[in-house]
Amino acid sequence: MANHDAKPPLADPDQGSEFDGARPWEQLRGLLRGGDQEGLIDLWESLRSSQVVRTWFRLSDEEQVQLLRALPSDAAAELIEDVPESYAADLLEDIPPEQAASIIGELNSQDAADLLREVNEEDLEGILSFMDDEDAADARQLISLDPDTAGGLMSTEFIAVRGTSKAGDVIAQLAAADNDEPLYTVQSIYVTRPSGILRGRVKLSNIAFVEPTQQLGELIEPVDTVRQDDDLIALSDFFEEHDQVVVPVVDFKNRLVGVLRRRIFYEALAEREQEDNLKRQGIVGGEELRSMPVFVRSGRRLSWLSVNIFLNLMAASVIAMYQDTLQAVIALAVFLPIVSDMSGCSGNQAVAVSMRELTLGILRPVDVARVWLQEVSVGVLNGLALGTLIACAAWLWKGELWLGAVIGLALALNTVVAVSLGGTLPLILKSLKVDPAIASGPILTTVTDMCGFFFVLSFASLALAA
């Protein structure tokens, strides 16, 4: 007998529904219009994790808000974790604060803090007012910390006990805890004084094999820590020297305030580099998604592209000054873009190194002179090597020794200029409170083009006049 109450088969994320051929986002629209919340949740939970974000961004802004409101808090939290933080913050601002607080409550403290940093102040206070007092206090503390420090990256989920605690009591406490607690929170039990000062840790594996009445203070082993205000370079040094998956974070009084996972640190480092790379490509404002309004995306890109028009006109004006030289030796036109491009590549390498060292805290703006001396050394060596190669190529192609000398010397000098500028420009811009990730690229390109054209054409003019 047919089961008339059975639900139709759910859509495959790629192929769509077996009963109407609709893709999942099309089915979601239908369920939203029909107000079928149960079917909506069933369909959403049937999607593979790799397809959730793709399906989500096929919905309109209004449909996304409707769906977010319809999903249970745990499912909504999983979605929030998968989309960019700035985008997720906008979503939280579009739903009631009590629901946003419920979703935040499903996230670990570090993810919640990262997300709440992106929420505007008015909505933030509304969300915090609906959170548990202890969770809200933890969130306020984490939000106030620099996100590029151990404190800004740490989680407050950890287990800390007194040295007088007995092994059996700790095991019972763990058994009664929420099964959803991440594994890293129970692998090490931290032993603290009543003031919160960290004494050391006890591994869970050690607790399991002792008498239930044994006190943890007798099992303590030392543990390396990081300070709450340690920056990315200090953290990078720590994780290179210590093979710890999780490290306790302490304040200036050595009180335990959180734990930092190695994976979270490296993810944060990669995210900073990705943001800087987007800025270097002229995507002002960091992340860009094609689901954003067209005018917003256009404005972000045009902000530096329009400036580049004027910068390129300046570079082109150098060529206009030497039209007679170009007409006399047309081969120079072939080498002009090679000289400017090769120099630009050398300069961009220097920019990348300086940007990374700025991010890690290795460099400060006051290090300009030291960086310049270091880059000049590299620039001279690379300039001589590259200049010799292109000089030989020009000589063999045209059989003109003077042409090879002109091109080779121009490339060598321009390489020195490019790496000098590329290494120091981010530091100079940083001291002027200008974002070096955005401004370094266009300025470097313009200057290396202008200098490259000038060197080639002026040297050629002198050679022709001799």
Same domain (yes/no): 374, 439: yes
3-state secondary structure of 17: coil
Number of domains in the chain: 3
Residue 268 has a pLDDT of 85
Same domain (yes/no): 276, 312: no
Backbone angles phi, psi at 330, to 5 degrees: -65, -20
Between 85 and 391, residue with greater pLDDT? 391
Residue 120 within any structural domain of the chain: yes
Distance CA 137, CA 148 (A): 20
For position 131, which CATH number holds?
1.25.60.10
Nearest CA to 284 out of 441, 80, 119 is that of 441
Residue 20 has a pLDDT of 43
Residue 246 has a pLDDT of 92
Residue 18 within any structural domain of the chain: no
pLDDT band at 11; cut points 50, 70, 90: very low
Same domain (yes/no): 177, 79: no
Q: Which two tokens stand for residue 11?
A: 């859509």
Residue 293 has a pLDDT of 57
Does the pTM exceed 0.75?
Answer: no
Residue 195 has a pLDDT of 92
Q: Which two tokens stand for residue 420?
A: 């000098």
> How many helices (H) and strands (E) in the chain?
22, 6
Q: Does the pLDDT of residue 397 top 90, yes or no?
A: no
Distance CA 326, CA 119 (A): 57
Specify whether the CB–CB gap between 352 and 363 falls below 8 A.
no
Same domain (yes/no): 241, 299: no
Domain end among 280, 303, 322: 280
Residue 17 within any structural domain of the chain: no
235-275: pLDDT as tens digits: 988 998 998 889 999 999 999 999 999 999 988 887 777 66
Same domain (yes/no): 269, 369: no
Specify whether the CB–CB gap between 311 and 446 falls below 8 A.
yes
Same domain (yes/no): 257, 175: yes
Same domain (yes/no): 237, 348: no
Same domain (yes/no): 247, 384: no
Distance CA 253, CA 196 (A): 9
Distance CA 190, CA 231 (A): 23
Q: Does the pLDDT of residue 333 top 90, yes or no?
A: no
Nearest CA to 59 out of 38, 42, 40 is that of 40
Q: Does the pLDDT of residue 162 top 90, yes or no?
A: yes
Supply the DSSP symbol for 365. G
Residue 313 has a pLDDT of 62
Domain end among 111, 143, 175: 143
- Please compute Rg for the chain using Cα positions: 30
- Mean pLDDT (the chain, rounded): 81
Beta partners for residue 256, in sequence order: 250
269-316: pLDDT as tens digits: 877 776 666 555 555 555 545 455 556 555 555 555 556 666 666 666
Residue 323 has a pLDDT of 66
Domain end among 257, 280, 303: 280
Q: What is the DSSP string of 282-316?
A: T-TTS---TTS-HHHHHHHHHHHHHHHHHHHHHHH
What is the domain extent for residue 309?
A: 294-465
112-160: pLDDT as tens digits: 998 998 898 889 999 999 998 888 888 898 998 988 899 999 998 888 9
335-349: pLDDT as tens digits: 888 888 888 888 888
For position 248, which CATH number holds?
3.10.580.10
Distance CA 371, CA 444 (A): 16
Same domain (yes/no): 333, 393: yes
Q: Does the pLDDT of residue 178 top 80, yes or no?
A: no
Between 308 and 195, residue with greater pLDDT? 195
Q: Does the pLDDT of residue 409 top 90, yes or no?
A: yes
Same domain (yes/no): 171, 128: no
Distance CA 56, CA 65 (A): 11
Residue 83 has a pLDDT of 79
Q: 212-242 as b/e, with b when 16 or more CB fall inside 10 Å?
A: eeebbeebbeebebbbbebbbbebbebbeee
Residue 247 within any structural domain of the chain: yes
Same domain (yes/no): 301, 420: yes
Same domain (yes/no): 276, 331: no
Residue 8 within any structural domain of the chain: no
Nearest CA to 362 out of 416, 430, 303, 314 is that of 430
pLDDT band at 192; cut points 50, 70, 90: very high
Residue 338 has a pLDDT of 85
3-state secondary structure of 195: coil
Specify whether the CB–CB gap between 338 and 346 falls below 8 A.
no
Residue 353 has a pLDDT of 84
Residue 369 within any structural domain of the chain: yes
Q: Does the pLDDT of residue 91 top 50, yes or no?
A: yes
Residue with tokens 């490509």: 281
pLDDT band at 65; cut points 50, 70, 90: confident
Work out the percent of the chain whose per-residue pLDDT is above 90: 26
Residue 74 within any structural domain of the chain: yes
Residue 466 has a pLDDT of 67
For position 461, which CATH number holds?
1.10.357.20
- 226-227: strand order across its sheet: 226-227, 246-250, 256-261
Question: Do the strands 160-161 and 188-192 form a parallel or antiparallel pair, or are they unpaired?
Answer: parallel
Work out the percent of the chain whose per-residue pLDDT is above 70: 80
Residue 318 within any structural domain of the chain: yes
